[in-house]
Amino acid sequence: MVEHRAGTSTAVVALVLVAGLLIGGLVTSYVFMRRINELQSDLGNLSSQLSHISGNQTFYNQTITVYQNETALAEMYQKTKDSVVLIRGNTNSGSVQGSGFIYNMSGSMVVVTNNHVVHGTTSLSVTFADGNGYSAVVNGTDPYSDLAVLTVIGAPESEFKPLIVVNSSTLKVGDPVIAIGAPYGLVGSMTTGEVSALGRTITEEQYTGGFTIANIIQTSAPINPGNSGGPLLNFDGKVVGITAAIIENSQGVGFAVPSNSILREIMALVATGSYDGHSYLGVRGMDMDYFRAQEMGVNVTYGWAISETVAGGPADNAGVEANDILVGINGYQIHNGDEMSSYLEEKTLPDQSVILAIVRNNSQLDLMLVLGKRPPPPA
């Protein structure tokens, strides 16, 4: 009986062990399969992330492509540098220096530059990019746009590689631009920047007698003494302006005459030696702002506050009075003096009739005015 019981106990233990092994195997298999599922899920997430990275990679390639296109500036420089010239002149008190560029005016090759580069010169020379220099004479000048046109004497046709001048009205703030010239006599220097503002006005008192040069392009392209008269180019290598001025002791602010002024005036400058198409209101004044409005007791904080009208001038004849505020011309809203001058320069001509929107004693009225012509600039 004892042996039988011992055998039975051994069998029971064996069955328990076998059952334990089976249960353990099942548990292990369950855990193992669950882990496999988790790994498959992780693999799916990783695949999705890789797909997202792959999509971003296309963007990075596009960025690199844009950057590589900008390296074409070197190629553009090679195509345009031979069109830019160095201008030197003698005056009764010393010498002057500036830049210019070649322009094909109906088959005649001329050099376009700034008036202030050649003003008062007794003799002039133009030096091309290959180092060859020739005598030059002034065809015409316009101090009110700071433009001058020269003819080069005795240069062979092979020297002239003209640039194309395009419409500057399409320019927008933020557009990239390039200036090429001879700052400090360093011929063929190129700088890049962007259009930082449009419709500015500048005053060159010595040449304009206090009248503004209107519709000016403001740019961040570095401009230095000697750059004056050189071309301001778009990224297609076309002329959109002519570099004209800098603000003393400033950084990153330069000014250029818009190419539309060149296109509008060059025929007259060559044919008659001058341009007399600048409209004239015959007013003096200042920009409006909040504090000036408070002082004047008016409710308009923008526009051009008339401080004085020139006796017998267009504004005086039209009934404009001191303390009137000009807020519009021909339906175009005028916020400040820059906009007023730029509108008159770009959109009007002498003897043209315009409608002025005037605020007087907090009431608006419209006055018809016949524009005059600016008096001749100082000699």
- The helix/strand/coil state of 184 is helix
Q: Tokens 């011992």 appear where?
A: 6
- The helix/strand/coil state of 79 is helix
Residue 314 · residue 328 · CB < 8 Å = no
Cα angle value 217/275/262 (rounded, 5°) = 35
How far apart, in whole angstroms, are the C-alpha atoms of residue 86 and residue 131? 9
How far apart, in whole angstroms, are the C-alpha atoms of residue 73 and residue 85? 19
Residue 203 · residue 341 · CB < 8 Å = no
The pair of three-digit structure tokens given for residue 223, joined into one six-digit string: 């401009």
Residue 205 identity (one-letter amino acid): E
> Of the residues 99, 189, 196, 228, which is catalytic?
228
* 91 Cβ contact list (under 8 Å, min separation 6): 120, 121, 122
Residue 89 identity (one-letter amino acid): G
The pair of three-digit structure tokens given for residue 335, joined into one six-digit string: 């916020």
Beta strand segments in 182-331, E: 189-202, 213-219, 231-233, 239-246, 254-258, 279-280, 283-287, 304-309, 325-329
Residue 126 · residue 150 · CB < 8 Å = yes
The pair of three-digit structure tokens given for residue 317, joined into one six-digit string: 């004849």
Measured in degrees and rounded to the nearest 5, phi and psi for residue 271 equal -75, -40
351, 202, 212: which is closest to 279 by C-alpha? 351
Q: List alpha helices for the chain, DSSP H.
A: 2-70, 73-80, 115-118, 205-208, 259-272, 290-296, 314-318, 337-347
Concerning whether 228 is annotated as a catalytic residue, the answer is: yes
Residue 235 · residue 105 · CB < 8 Å = no
Concerning whether 116 is annotated as a catalytic residue, the answer is: yes
> Of the residues 83, 119, 142, 146, which is catalytic?
146
> Of the residues 83, 116, 189, 259, which is catalytic?
116
Concerning whether 146 is annotated as a catalytic residue, the answer is: yes
Residues designated catalytic: 116, 146, 228
